[in-house]
């Protein structure tokens, strides 16, 4: 990062307070907006990211982090978002929440991702680390417009068509979402190897109450994008339906 990016520096109308995270692609700072005490997450990236991020400014959804401003500063692009006091889904899962709590968080994240798709925004790198869960158990999707690496952890969520050079779209996001949901519910990714992810079928999950979710997730994990759900709304509706309690008096009802 260049020399002016330091504590106390100004980026547009935002003053940098402390560096929260950094990588070769840029850094995320805790910042505050001029004239307010409003905490902001300010992401500095290499040039070229601002144009794609501008579409995020039009999204207002409780499960998508709110974008306040997008612009350029020196040789960087910046993206200012609401600061969310939360933990990545991966960290939250370490507390071993009940599976219905996990499902609620997943459905919230899916609703946010679906809202982005309806606004014409593709995530491109959906994974558990890009879902923040706050203290009230509410999820927010972050880091839209990411570029998944061909190797490493992110590759486990990459749709097969993207491995062959296809651009990110809502159907590849759906595949990544189903990988993340499967992992959150069952403790492992649905595919044990790259070849299985590209050409095989997802592994059947262990028996348990959450196993009923395998049917809709399996459809979202089809290698052929044309066999997946048309959109996330259909997937989320089926996930809700298979988990709905049976009516009293119905053979499947349990008290």
**Within a domain: 5:** no
Three-point CA angle 111, 117, 120, nearest 5°: 150
C-alpha to C-alpha distance for 240 and 229, rounded to whole angstroms: 15
Domain end call among 82, 108, 139: 82
C-alpha to C-alpha distance for 70 and 64, rounded to whole angstroms: 16
Domain end call among 30, 54, 82: 82
C-alpha to C-alpha distance for 108 and 105, rounded to whole angstroms: 5
Residue 70 belongs to domain spanning: 10-82
Length of the chain: 255
Q: Are 180 and 128 in contact (CB under 8 A)?
A: yes
Q: Do 234 and 146 belong to one domain?
A: yes
Please name the residue that has the structure tokens 């593709």.
122
How many domains does the structure of the chain reveal? 2
- Tens of pLDDT along the chain (255 residues) come to 444 578 888 999 999 999 988 876 778 999 999 988 889 999 998 776 666 678 888 899 999 999 999 988 877 889 999 999 999 999 999 999 999 999 999 999 999 999 999 999 999 999 999 999 999 999 999 988 765 554 444 789 999 999 999 999 999 999 999 999 999 999 999 999 888 899 989 999 999 999 999 999 999 999 999 999 999 999 999 999 988 765 555 444 443
Report, as residue numbers or ranges, the catalytic residues.
125
Q: Do 28 and 141 belong to one domain?
A: no
Please name the residue that has the structure tokens 């651009």.
167
**Within a domain: 169:** yes
């Amino acid at each position: 990062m260049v020399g002016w990016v330091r504590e106390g520096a100004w980026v547009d109308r935002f003053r940098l307070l402390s560096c929260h995270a950094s990588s070769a692609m840029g850094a995320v700072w805790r910042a505050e907006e001029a004239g307010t005490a409003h905490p902001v997450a300010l992401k500095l990236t290499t040039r070229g990211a601002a144009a794609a991020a501008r579409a995020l400014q039009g999204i207002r959804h409780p499960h998508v982090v709110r974008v306040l401003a997008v612009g350029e500063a020196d040789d960087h692009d910046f993206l200012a978002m609401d600061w969310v006091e939360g933990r990545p889904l991966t960290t939250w899962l370490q507390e071993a929440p009940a599976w219905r709590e996990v499902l609620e968080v997943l459905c919230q994240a899916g609703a946010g991702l679906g809202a982005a798709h309806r606004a014409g925004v593709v995530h491109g790198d959906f994974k558990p680390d890009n879902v923040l869960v706050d203290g009230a158990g509410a999820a927010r999707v972050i880091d839209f417009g990411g570029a998944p690496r061909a190797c490493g952890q992110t590759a486990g969520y990459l749709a097969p068509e993207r491995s062959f050079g296809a651009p990110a779209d809502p159907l590849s996001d759906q595949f990544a979402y189903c990988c993340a949901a499967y992992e959150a519910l069952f403790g492992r990714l649905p595919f044990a190897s790259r070849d299985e992810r590209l050409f095989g079928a997802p592994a059947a999950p262990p028996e348990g109450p959450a196993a009923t979710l395998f049917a809709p997730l399996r459809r979202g994990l089809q290698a052929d994008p044309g066999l997946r759900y048309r959109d996330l709304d259909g997937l989320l509706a089926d996930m809700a339906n298979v988990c709905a309690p049976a009516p009293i008096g119905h053979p499947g009802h349990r008290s």
